[in-house]
Each structure stands twice: as structure tokens, then as C-alpha cells.
Structure 1
Amino acid sequence: MRLDRFDRQLLNLVQEDAAQTAERLAEQVFLSPSAVQRRLRRLREAGVIVRDSAVVDPRQVGRPTFFVVSLQVERERPELLAQLRQWLAAQEHVQQAFYVTGEADFVLILTAPDTETYDALMARMVSDNPNVKRFTTNVALSVVKRGLSIPVPLDEDED
């Protein structure tokens, strides 16, 4: 799908705040509210916008601790990796899971109310996934930045 400058502007704006009204977005991109709605619907239907979500303060909902986990597997057989991916995707504490190059095979971002909850999750992961060789954990002392926004250049040839 080709994105024009208006699409790109809208993508940046809705990533910043998806709750903005079509009227407010229209003011910022100089289109009519109905044109904004049509464009957003087309971007969703094409799979450019995958999901709208709210950003929640983890402390307000009892999830104040973040864990960054590097995970190594024993064997990289496709069926074993698929099983682990499926297991990770089903865990509510796993916010993000990346299959990566380098020493680790996966990097995970988890949130939990405390280390006991985290320990229980990791014990279950190792028990349920015998292909897990080892993992190392970093506990986040503070959050400097947290987000999922993808910078969308306004022009197709910009970096």
C-alpha cells in the first residue's frame, strides 16, 4: 500500500494519541473529518494500523516491576521454536518477545507485581518448554522511555 503525506501524518498522530477525534485530527492535517475517517478505515483494513490500545501506568494496576530477559534455547528446530513462541504469546506477563540474533535467541520484556510472581512464571516456562537452555534476567530500576510508536517519515524517501 502506498502512503501519501496525509496518511503518514495521520499515522504519527494516532500513534501519539489514538483517542483523538476525527475533527481534531482533521485540524492538524488539513483534511475534512470524513476524509480522515476514510483514511483511517483504509489504513486499518490494509493492516497498516494493527491495533489501537491504551497505555496504562503499571504502578496504578499493580505491575510496577519490569524484567528484561535474554533467553537461549537448546535447539533451533522449527517445531520447538514454534511451541516456545506460542507459549510466550499466551502469557499475560510477557509484554514483548523478540526472536533475535546474537548470544540470546529471544529477548523478552515482562511485567509483574513482584519477583515471586516473576520466578513462578520462569519456573513454569522452563518446565513447560524443555528446549529452554538458560535465561538471564535484568530488573529495570526505572523506566526512561516506554512506547511502541514507529516513526513514520512524512515523505516516502526520508529516513
Structure 2
Amino acid sequence: MPRSEISLDDIDHDLLAVLQRDADQTLSALGERIGLSPSAVQRRITRLKKHGVIARTVVELAPEATSDLILAVCVVTLDRESNERHERFQHRLLDAPEVQQVYMVSGDWDYVVVFATHGMAHHNEVTGRLLSDAPNVRRYTTLFVLKPVRTGNALPTRQAG
């Protein structure tokens, strides 16, 4: 759901920070953390979802749970640029379950793509299919993740200071 205008108060910011760290808590536990009753927490969560502030609730898997998992970051440059070519390239990546994140960026590269694959053979198959065989990819470089130092997707909800 697209985000509509909503004014967030301090309690909303606190609730969002707690949910981004661990959304698998009871309403009672959330309420204790932010000083609200469980029903008040539920009303706020419902409001935040309705206005598109909370996009979805997902389970984050531990990468170390799969011994052959390879994480790779690829930077990609397209051969020719147009809105249609960008849309085609993006759509190609969105359909692939191995693609974890895609960012259109400024600078010498057009995209940063994060892949999660099972072993080097799978990685080569995926990047071959999605990048090497793509009609509009000029070049790409792969950086293999040796050690995840910090992962996550929590966003700040207010400015520091």
C-alpha cells in the first residue's frame, strides 16, 4: 500500500524502532517496552499498516543456517540507458528468488545487486542467466561477501539530534 500522509509521534517512533529489531513479540511485551496497553499497541500497528508506514512483516533467516550459502554483491553497468531498458532490467531481477536487494545508483555503475546462492555453481548459473546473458548489460563486477559484519534493513524513523 502506498504511504499516505501520517504524523508520527514519539511513541510511534519508539514502536517502529522496537518492531524493526524484533517484530515477533506479543502485544503485551511491545506495550511494556513503550508504555502502552496491548490494545493501544494494536491500534497503532493497524494505523501504521493502513497508512503504509509498515509495509510488511517477514521472517529473517540466519545465513549461517545454510552451510553452502554464498552472498555476493554485483555492480552492474547497462550498455544503453532509457526508461524502458531500465524497467526491463529491473523486472528481470525482480523475478529471481536469488536476488535479495537491487539498488539503482549514481556514479560509474547503474545498479548494485545482492545475490544469495547455494554454492559457486549456482552463483555462476544465476549471474550467467541474469547478467551475462542479459541483452543490455555492458559489464558487471562481483564482490563475494567473506564475512557479514552488520546486516539488516531497519530504517531510521526520525533524525538524530
TM category (shorter chain) comes to: over 0.9
Q: How many Å separate the matches in 2 of 1:24 and 1:79? A: 48
1:40 aligned to 2:72? Answer: no
- 2:106 corresponds to which of 78, 85, 101: 101
Q: What letter is aligned with 2:146?
A: L
| Cα pair 2:70 2:123 within 8 Å, conserved | no
Aligned to 1:15: 20
Larger mean CA deviation between 118-127 and 140-149 belongs to 118-127
Q: Deviations over 1:26-81 (max 9, x none)?
A: 11111111010000011011110111111111232455211010000011111111
Aligned length: 156
**What secondary structure, in the 3-state scheme, does the structure 2 residue paired with 1:35 have?**
helix
| Cα pair 1:97 1:108 within 8 Å, conserved | yes
Q: How many Å separate the matches in 2 of 1:137 and 1:108? A: 9
Structure 1 unmatched ranges of 5 or more: none
Aligned to 1:142: 147
Q: How many Å separate the matches in 2 of 1:147 and 1:28? A: 21
Q: Deviations over 1:77-102 (max 9, x none)?
A: 11111011111111111100000001
- 1:129 corresponds to which of 109, 134, 137: 134
The Cα RMSD (Å) is: 1.4
- 2:70 corresponds to which of 65, 70, 79: 65
Q: TM-score, normalised by structure 2?
A: 0.91
Higher RCO structure, 1 or 2 (CA under 8 Å, sep 6+): 1
1:4 aligned to 2:32? Answer: no
Structure 2 unmatched ranges of 5 or more: 1-5
- How far does residue 146 in structure 1 lie from its aligned partner after superposition? 0.7
Q: TM-score, normalised by structure 1?
A: 0.92
Q: How many Å separate the matches in 2 of 1:10 and 1:144? A: 26
Q: What letter is aligned with 1:135?
A: Y
Q: How many Å separate the matches in 2 of 1:8 and 1:63? A: 38
| Cα pair 2:99 2:114 within 8 Å, conserved | yes
Identity among equivalent positions (%) equals 34
Q: How many Å separate the matches in 2 of 1:126 and 1:11? A: 36
Larger mean CA deviation between 78-87 and 50-59 belongs to 50-59
